[in-house]
Amino acid sequence: MPKDRAIIVLTAPSGAGKTTIAHRVLEERPGLSFSVSATTRDARPDETDGEDYHFLSVDEFEKRINRGDLLEYEQVYDGLYYGTLKSEIAEKSKDGGVLLDIDVKGAVNVKKAFGDDALVLFVAPPSVEELERRLTGRGTETDDAVTTRLARARMELGMQDEFDAVVVNDDLDEAVEETLSYVDRFIQS
């Protein structure tokens, strides 16, 4: 029987490919909705406010924290805030399931909050060298930002055993198929 509430989390070091996989999963499973996080980082050229993120000022983000609007939040890089809005999860999790693309510490917190109602998949790069190539190739970060993300990635890769399953994103199509099979099994369980 399908679950009453389904929360699916893709987590990974920056550059491992979780956003790419998340977009593919949402195309393949239109019943799932995306949890649009709030952030204080600037939008990238290909991002849309309200679709990829809710882009907020620091002031506005801190007001939301104080109002208790956030399920979880982290200052992930350079003091930038990222967080999951409770309002994104409340309805979407019951209505076909919700997909979150969040950092590793946030994923641990979501698992603690939702237990068996949450499936947390860790997307791993095939190697740290390939992760660096992808981060550099994406061209959205300065060299300093790439260095910061790689340093954090080493810590995050050490946490992969804490999650429900690990998907190695080497061949993208295979990683998408594997993710879909975990998602389908979870939603039907």
Ligand X SMILES: Nc1nc2c(ncn2[C@@H]2O[C@H](COP(=O)(O)OP(=O)(O)O)[C@@H](O)[C@H]2O)c(=O)[nH]1
State yes or no: residue 138 binds ligand ADP (CB under 6 A): yes
**Shortest reach from residue 11's CB to ligand ADP, in Å:** 9
Number of residues that bind ligand ADP (CB under 6 A): 14
State yes or no: residue 98 binds ligand ADP (CB under 6 A): no
Q: Is 109 left (phi over 0), alpha (psi -120 to 50) or beta?
A: alpha
Please say whether the beta carbons of 45 and 157 come within 8 A.
no
Query: Is 31 among the annotated ligand-binding positions?
Result: no
State yes or no: residue 148 binds ligand ADP (CB under 6 A): no
- In 3D space, the residue among 40, 68, 70, 67 whose CA is nearest the CA of residue 53 turns out to be 40
Query: Is 118 among the annotated ligand-binding positions?
Result: no
State yes or no: residue 25 binds ligand ADP (CB under 6 A): no
Please say whether the beta carbons of 169 and 125 come within 8 A.
yes
State yes or no: residue 158 binds ligand ADP (CB under 6 A): no
Binding site for ligand X (CB under 6 A): 14-15, 19, 37, 41, 72, 74, 76, 82-84, 101-103, 106
Please say whether the beta carbons of 79 and 134 come within 8 A.
no
Q: Residue 157 and residue 155: Cα distance in Å, rounded?
A: 6
Q: What residues contact residue 146 under an 8 Å CB cut-off, 6+ apart?
A: 132, 135, 136
Q: Which CB sits closer to ligand ADP, 93 or 179?
A: 179
State yes or no: residue 179 binds ligand ADP (CB under 6 A): no
* Residue 134 interacts with which of ligand X, ligand ADP, none, CB < 5 to 8 Å by class: ligand ADP
* Residue 137 interacts with which of ligand X, ligand ADP, none, CB < 5 to 8 Å by class: ligand ADP
- In 3D space, the residue among 88, 163, 96 whose CA is nearest the CA of residue 124 turns out to be 163
For binding to ligand ADP (CB under 6 A), which residues are involved? 12, 14-20, 134, 137-138, 169, 172, 175
